[in-house]
Chains A and B, each alone.
Chain A
Amino acid sequence: MNVHANVLAACKPWTREEIAARAARDIPEGFYVNLGIGIPVLLANYVPPEREVILQSENGVLGMGATPEPDKINRWLINASKKYVTLVPGGAYMHHADSFAIIRGGHLDLCVLGAFQVAENGDFANWAMSDTDMPSVGGAMDLAAGAKAVWLLMEHTAKNGASKLMRRCTYPLTALGAAKRVYTNLAVLDITAEGFAVRDIVPGLTFEALQDVTDAPLHRAN
């Protein structure tokens, strides 16, 4: 058995929903937050009800809410992943140029994106795995350039066990030095001047075991 399989067998990795819920709990009251395709859009279902966090979707929605009940679907209202969502009271629609004025213009406190790879210097890659792959950038480069902070929600390792947290990304970059925090199925990490600082680890997993499945060197958060 390889190291990767041993490590995963020793703990119960967080699910995609648990990763999203964990990130949702960490978003401060009053934040304007864009949610990207993949695990991030799940976050809309986990914002604590007592907290006002305003979610934006690149396709022209400000004030995006949770997944609708099956009998209350608005078939004209979707999120970045093309799934049905709701609009909260106070929500607004806008066209794409205005939506990206919000995104690029520095108005968002945070964007939460998926990623294929992230490096200890904050570089990340989420739009192409090679020069010949079907590249799909969406709004990620605009978000990374414009939001005040970028958090990444992603699997810690690829299916073959390869670490997605690297010293340097090998895939084409989405943005340089933009990522500030990473939530994976195994850990929560800040990206600091020293590199990855581990804030939290899934129960049952040790710091050393986490390091074993992580390409980049890990530090303990203060």
Chain B
Amino acid sequence: MINKIVQTMAEALAGIRDGSVVLIGGFGSIGQPNALIYGLIEQGAKELTVVANNAGVGHVGLARLMEVGRVRKIVCSYPRTTDPVVFEELYRTGRIELEVMPQGTMAERMRAAGAGIPAFYTPTSVGTKLAEGKEVREFHGRQYVLEEAFFGDVALVEAWEADRWGNLTYNSSARNFNPVMATAAKLTIAQAQHIVGLGELDPEKIATPGIFVDRVVHVPYGEPTIT
């Protein structure tokens, strides 16, 4: 019997190594799997490269992971978001590396990784500093920049509902990067507000089919906050 549901945070995060590339879902704090991030702090992996849209809000979740010194590098599209106090301090004092990537390029690079596409051409960033050093090619009279697939060692995602096969649904705009990241990592770990029986999820509403998910842990925490 396939059962991806684990009972403890320690089981959920077992085996994550120092130096891993960790994809973390969310847009600001919405859809950010904070319980898994705290589990990762407990687990102890360090020298991490984290990929997330923002660079943490306040002192919670991703910001806390950075604050306790586990993140060597962050790859994100928009660090200058609501209250990035922890990141700001680390960045100003040279204690964290930052790579900024256009948001759509970041999403598509992970989508490509999960879809078996090694690279693609995009019109985004042509002629800007973010395209410097990258191959540019013309198609149908327009220039495009070559971008490569971006793989994670681990993806941490937040779902709304999950079953024991790892099928996932999401709530409203908390979907964001989560389904994309779930496809792009060797090990995908989901926290879910609700665990339901196999067959209880409407197949039309499953946004992440279980094949992309390795472990599920039940985290019924209620509602997120934006600060």
- Interfacial residues of chain A within 78-104, with CB under 8 A of chain B in the complex: 78, 82-84, 87, 93-97, 99-100, 103-104
Q: Does A61 contact B (CB under 8 A)?
A: yes
Interface of B is mostly: loop
- Interfacial residues of chain A within 100-146, with CB under 8 A of chain B in the complex: 100, 103-104, 127-128, 134-142, 145-146
- Interfacial residues of chain A within 170-194, with CB under 8 A of chain B in the complex: 172-176
Given A95-B207, A145-B124, CB of A137 within 8 Å of CB of B173: no
- Interfacial residues of chain B within 149-201, with CB under 8 A of chain A in the complex: 170-180
Given A82-B30, A96-B180, CB of A141 within 8 Å of CB of B130: yes
What is the number of residues of chain A that contact chain B, defined by CB distance less than 8 Å? 42
Are B103 and A96 closer than 8 Å at their CB atoms? yes
What is the number of residues of chain B that contact chain A, defined by CB distance less than 8 Å? 49
Contact with A along B197-209 (1 / 0, CB 8 A): 0000000000100
Interface residues of A (CB under 8 A from B): 37, 57-61, 74-78, 82-84, 87, 93-97, 99-100, 103-104, 127-128, 134-142, 145-146, 172-176
Are A142 and B105 closer than 8 Å at their CB atoms? yes
Given A76-B30, A136-B79, CB of A141 within 8 Å of CB of B171: no
- The CA-CA distance from A97 to B176 in the complex, in Å, is 9
- Interfacial residues of chain B within 94-131, with CB under 8 A of chain A in the complex: 98, 100-105, 107-108, 110-111, 122-130
| Interfacial chain B residues near A61, Cβ < 8 Å | 173
A and B contact pairs by CB, cutoff 8 A, 15 listed: A75-B223, A75-B224, A76-B173, A87-B172, A93-B170, A96-B103, A100-B104, A104-B104, A104-B108, A136-B81, A138-B78, A138-B102, A142-B102, A146-B104, A175-B127
Interface residues of B (CB under 8 A from A): 27-31, 77-82, 88, 91, 98, 100-105, 107-108, 110-111, 122-130, 170-180, 207, 223-226
